[in-house]
Structure 1
């Protein structure tokens, strides 16, 4: 395409290198924003009409023409040309083909610098709404399972070593609270994303005194940007979104890692449904948790999108630079990957098969050593001394090759006269779990409190 036909070609006297044409073209990426670009153009046309830069006939012609362009996108009937650099170029070219000269008035006072960032915010606003819905679904799956599997006991772990008995439902909710925090962070990002940059021009502002506040209302933005130079180069909202995707991905990865471990034969607490598992081309017996492994792996690529774009941003001079063309690719990739990860996580968790007997069988009396210390504390012993004495009980049982409940009262007395026959009352896993009644504990009362809180949280969002 000859330079004089480009949006910017007036001062150029030679053809653009085909190599640069290829590198400069972002249409294969930013075409996803065709609807947002059309919407922004329609509302910008309204602003131009309000200040008499468009006649009523020209305004109507632009609206009708842009709707025709929208239909072409939706019906996939657009014939692209070599000079189509981006979605903005295509939409303007097609509009001119449909309505002629009025299309050439639409861009007055507007730059692709403020146009593209407006499109991105419109697109991201919609994407975040869909992600919010997925996050809500995920939290609800956790709470539903926690409520229906409330009484299942299992080992809790630190350092991947058996630590203390807990409820399976408490483990489920430990992840639900992470995702609740993620959802809160996503909701807090929305107002910072919803600041209108349109009307900033290339960098100096708009010289035609358009009503930016009314334009913001028409496009559903909360407020308008206050500095045109900052507005056209601002991609903090992209970085925040990429960070949010990365952190949510890390939480998904940790969930996946737990479930991968719990699904091994060595643990066998859960079984991943066949619909979210794969087999081996060599070993017929294999039942691989590929859905969870993919989530774990893709979480790293989300972090890569964040760090990659941070390095793009860090050295840029003020206002728009073409380096920012990569912003959309990072944003789209992160959104798409996280959306897939969330959908798979929801499906895998919903169809997960719990094995309560195996969970209970994994409990061992050494996990109640802390309860021995608590027993002594309740009898007035300082905790550090109680901890030491409980350690001696563990050591004696190992020395005798028997479990702690099998020690006699005389064995206990050799360690401390404080031990009485009621020490044998602590060797009950259910009683152990039920002592943690404080807010945040693993007792049934506390877990039910968590479930109710999260259920109400989800209901409030659904009804808002």
Structure 2
């Protein structure tokens, strides 16, 4: 029998009962629901609304229900619309009238909002830990292959040589921003709606500050209408998951490219590769591809929630039953993707010689040759034109800039001298980028130290 059956003369139709049920999704919040109910019961007893023995019976009953759910012994009833009704039904069956007093001064509206906020806070913390694990793997590879040079690209075309460590650290900074978004989402969820009741508060002398502190919330939501209808915190979580998945997709795209025969920059561990059912030679980066594909799913979860919340009048509306499935899915998917990516990065084998061979192609020294002329007084735009013509000469001859003679250089500009060969050395080109945030060895060492410092602070905050 439904908890509101006193108002109705007919039972729910079987289809509409199934259609309106959220139990398949929100039973994932059983622990949060039980924690919220225990805190509410303790507060009711402290305020003299219910007897202490009732509060004790409620707590014991809820502990038993939680143990049964976790052991797989709990029997959900066909009439259980959601986890809240399932737990309350079982509680009343176990402890009688004491269980029936639990809902005093509370609505499912503030109850579900409380459960969801507790769940969001926990998932943010879980994701922050997974984020740190991937950043640790990236920094480990950056340190292990600090001096390795590869071609840096724009438009996926060879541009300038960079250190592999510099390239990998770029992803740690993306992930550091993802961490900040998760911190913000956790902070947004860290406010208690419990005690707002259905929408207008209640006539019972509830102590909302007590339940907020009991449940680990930092504050109470000051407006009861907003308390039961706000889902911005879930949007923040879903957005954080979407951006993080987008970053993982970018990294995994490079893993797919780098592990291909055309690049050969890395070799993935067998544990993070698959084969072909017909081609015995294949070693496919399936998991990197799958992470890339799952990004669309997580972005879809965000869009679905945005559309669900669009145009909802105050306060609670049944539409908000659709708030949890996407957020739960987005958090679970991101966590799996972070774990998988960390495993790939940690176990991949870097092939420095392949990276260096490609760094020698594509006239990566061209900018440095132009800078050489500019430092000798030639306007940079003119220097750019001179070097562009030198590249054209190389293309016509089928050679590289390093294959040109001093006479070839002087034929284009008299400012060239014998020391031009120093501008064509890969190590010198890279090392010369000493500006803050650049790819020079000294600059990357500073950057790595900064990344470790931020990592340590983030790790301490989880």
TM above 0.5, yes or no, is yes
Which moves more between the two structures, 385-394 or 276-285?
385-394
Whether 1:388 and 2:385 are equivalent positions in the alignment is: yes
Q: Is the 8 A contact 2:406 2:416 kept in 1?
A: yes
Secondary structure in 2 matching 1:6: coil
Identify the residue that residue 455 of structure 1 maps to in structure 2: 452
Whether 1:109 and 2:79 are equivalent positions in the alignment is: no
Whether 1:359 and 2:379 are equivalent positions in the alignment is: no
Q: Is the 8 A contact 2:275 2:283 kept in 1?
A: yes
Q: Is the 8 A contact 1:242 1:331 kept in 2?
A: yes
Of the three residues 21, 45, 49, the one matched with 1:49 is: 45
Identify the residue that residue 405 of structure 1 maps to in structure 2: 402
Q: Is the 8 A contact 2:124 2:185 kept in 1?
A: no
Deviation of 1:339 (Å): 1.1
Q: Is the 8 A contact 1:156 1:162 kept in 2?
A: yes
TM-score calculated relative to the size of structure 2: 0.97
Secondary structure in 2 matching 1:338: helix
Identify the residue that residue 267 of structure 1 maps to in structure 2: 263
Distance in 1 (CA, whole Å) between partners of 2:295 and 2:81 is 32
Deviation of 1:408 (Å): 2.4
Whether 1:235 and 2:228 are equivalent positions in the alignment is: no
Q: Is the 8 A contact 1:373 1:387 kept in 2?
A: yes
Identify the residue that residue 427 of structure 1 maps to in structure 2: 424
Identify the residue that residue 276 of structure 1 maps to in structure 2: 272
Q: Is the 8 A contact 2:174 2:247 kept in 1?
A: yes
Deviation of 1:319 (Å): 1.0
Identify the residue that residue 198 of structure 1 maps to in structure 2: 194
Q: Is the 8 A contact 1:196 1:225 kept in 2?
A: yes
Distance in 1 (CA, whole Å) between partners of 2:436 and 2:117 is 40
Identify the residue that residue 93 of structure 1 maps to in structure 2: 89
Deviation of 1:189 (Å): 2.1
Whether 1:175 and 2:180 are equivalent positions in the alignment is: no
Of the three residues 146, 152, 155, the one matched with 1:150 is: 146
Secondary structure in 1 matching 2:364: helix
Secondary structure in 1 matching 2:203: coil
Q: Is the 8 A contact 2:160 2:364 kept in 1?
A: yes
Secondary structure in 1 matching 2:365: helix
Q: Is the 8 A contact 1:149 1:169 kept in 2?
A: yes
Q: Is the 8 A contact 2:184 2:236 kept in 1?
A: no
Distance in 2 (CA, whole Å) between partners of 1:49 and 1:203 is 23
Which moves more between the two structures, 382-391 or 263-272?
382-391
Deviation of 1:50 (Å): 2.1
Number of aligned pairs? 460
Which moves more between the two structures, 385-394 or 227-236?
385-394
Distance in 1 (CA, whole Å) between partners of 2:45 and 2:406 is 93
Secondary structure in 2 matching 1:162: strand
Q: Is the 8 A contact 2:369 2:424 kept in 1?
A: no
Deviation of 1:397 (Å): 2.3
- The C-alpha deviation readout for 1:423-450, integer Å capped at 9, x for no partner, is 1221200000001111111111111112
Identify the residue that residue 119 of structure 1 maps to in structure 2: 115
Of the three residues 169, 176, 185, the one matched with 2:181 is: 185
Secondary structure in 1 matching 2:123: helix
- The C-alpha deviation readout for 1:335-380, integer Å capped at 9, x for no partner, is 1111111110010111101111111111226110101111011112
Distance in 1 (CA, whole Å) between partners of 2:386 and 2:364 is 15
Whether 1:35 and 2:31 are equivalent positions in the alignment is: yes
What RMSD in Å do the two structures reach over aligned CA positions?
1.2
Runs of 4+ aligned residues of structure 1 deviating over 6 Å after TM superposition are none
- The C-alpha deviation readout for 1:193-227, integer Å capped at 9, x for no partner, is 10111111111112213111121111111111111
TM-score calculated relative to the size of structure 1: 0.97
Q: Is the 8 A contact 1:43 1:215 kept in 2?
A: yes
- The C-alpha deviation readout for 1:397-428, integer Å capped at 9, x for no partner, is 22333322222222222211111122122120
Distance in 1 (CA, whole Å) between partners of 2:88 and 2:51 is 19
Whether 1:82 and 2:78 are equivalent positions in the alignment is: yes
Q: Is the 8 A contact 2:149 2:162 kept in 1?
A: yes
Whether 1:161 and 2:157 are equivalent positions in the alignment is: yes
Question: What residue ranges of structure 1 are gaps of 5+ in the alignment?
Answer: none
- The C-alpha deviation readout for 1:17-61, integer Å capped at 9, x for no partner, is 111011111111111111111110111011211221111111111
Question: What residue ranges of structure 2 are gaps of 5+ in the alignment?
Answer: none
Distance in 2 (CA, whole Å) between partners of 1:229 and 1:399 is 73
Of the three residues 397, 411, 415, the one matched with 2:412 is: 415
